[in-house]
Structure 1
Amino acid sequence: MSVKSKRLINPYEERMLEFLQTCIEVNYKIHTQVSLCQFCELDSSLDWQLRKFFFSSSVDALITDYDFKPCLVVEFQSQYHDSPEAKERDRKKAALLAIAGVPLLYSRVKNFGLLHLYSKDEEIVFNLFTGERRENAKALIRKYCEQSACCDVLAAW
């Protein structure tokens, strides 16, 4: 029997993290493969299936502010997320993040180099080859980070 170390992320996730890094200001941090229970607190009235899922699920990328408060979760989607089981896991994760008040964006590369960043309410398509609409994609990421910071400032008042 042996145990070997392995790479934490795959090449697609690496490219996505590199892109996210270009979108955020220096006072934000990106964390990878973070368990939901590390940045969300569990409500005792939560459905038992969501409770079970809560302790066994992680997010691909969590962006936090300077004080390590969650600003945005980005989930990297691929063809593996098209199965009914994966869609159910994604639905549960989205439900838990909504309850916690943490915004969620999905990213998926389609059609040979078009990066789709989307939520239930909006979508931006960025051409990875030409750079077309890159600023729109960056603005979307920054919007969520700034909304979180804005909420913290208003709460302090």
Structure 2
Amino acid sequence: MINQENIYQLLQKENWTELIGIFYQNKDLIKKDLLLQTASETTISVMVQKAMELETDSDFVENLGQLTLLNAGHFIKLKPEQDEAINVAIANAKIDNLSLAYNYAKKYPDNEVSKSIITKYHKEFPKEISNSSKNRILTTENTLDENGIDARKSMFNSYQESEFFVALKRVFDTYQVYPNVALSNVIEYDLIKNQLNQTERNFFFKSSIDFAVFEPFKNYYPIYFFELDSIYHDTKEQKEKDKMKDKILSLSNSKLYRIRKRDKTVSEAEFEEIIREIRKLTE
């Protein structure tokens, strides 16, 4: 028969596993015996105090977890502040397993230790957003860095590009037009790689096309490619890059139309006229 002295002796030895076992196996007996109740409450108070000190001993933390299970199963009754201290201590001790630590920390999100863990978790993992179909569709968002800056930029690298884009949209009004499209997104590398040298292969994965026109009714198949050239393309380095890009498009049986202003006063309307002429030539 268990008595309070057995509990106090185990408590002195910090034999948490045996103590948890006693609470589990003697639920009804403890409820009926005031001395056993007192010994049980004393044990819990000691464990909570150690938890508040954020004890990280693995055996102790494991038994804190067992204590929460006993509480959930109504074998013991923890006060709210005791439950908080225990869950926070487990979260702190499990920080190397961030997902597990988060599951404990989120029970008490206003606790300072919990806040730190939750913040760390959201920086590493996306935050789930509630939605009307959350049982079937998962929606998440990243967490903004408190020291972050607005580093977004326009899709266009120059005003001339935005002018040309508008002209393309007018000519190909039922098509989809995208600027700065990666070559690897519109050309099957494996089909042409054997005809490229190593420099050209490296270039393939670093380069983009200024504009691509896609057929929306044919699985977004690209049908036109345009480059908007400038004086920048007169440098030796850029000429080599242009040559490689031309070769890649030629090998993929695709026309690449290069457009360049000879007069700075060329307008958006003139761009549009040239694009219409190119379209008529190919249809």
Q: TM-score, normalised by structure 1?
A: 0.72
Unaligned runs of 5+ in 2: 1-146
Counterpart CA distance in 1 for 2:222 and 2:165 is 16
**Which SS does the other structure have where 1:98 is aligned?**
helix
Q: Is residue 140 of structure 1 aligned with residue 278 of structure 2?
A: yes
Q: Is residue 13 of structure 1 aligned with residue 165 of structure 2?
A: no
> Larger radius of gyration, structure 1 or 2?
2
Q: Which amino acid aligns with 2:154?
A: R
Counterpart CA distance in 1 for 2:161 and 2:273 is 20
RMSD over aligned CA atoms reads 2.3
Q: Which amino acid aligns with 2:197?
A: D
Identity of aligned residues (%): 25
Task: Report if aligned partners of 2:168, 2:272 keep a CA contact under 8 Å in 1.
Answer: no
1:133 CA drift (Å): 9.5
CA separation of 1:89 and 1:101: change in aligned 2, threshold 3 A: same
Q: Whose strand fraction is larger, Structure 1's or Structure 2's?
A: 1
2:248 equivalent among 83, 89, 96: 96
Q: Whose helix fraction is larger, Structure 1's or Structure 2's?
A: 2
1:15 CA drift (Å): 0.2
Q: Which amino acid aligns with 2:211?
A: A
Q: Which amino acid aligns with 1:15?
A: E
Unaligned runs of 5+ in 1: 115-127, 147-157
1:118 corresponds to: none
1:39 corresponds to: 186
Q: TM-score, normalised by structure 2?
A: 0.42
Counterpart CA distance in 2 for 1:136 and 1:97 is 21
Task: Report if aligned partners of 1:70, 1:102 keep a CA contact under 8 Å in 2.
Answer: no
Counterpart CA distance in 1 for 2:251 and 2:203 is 14
1:111 corresponds to: 263
Aligned length: 130
CA separation of 1:20 and 1:132: change in aligned 2, threshold 3 A: closer
Task: Report if aligned partners of 1:23, 1:139 keep a CA contact under 8 Å in 2.
Answer: no
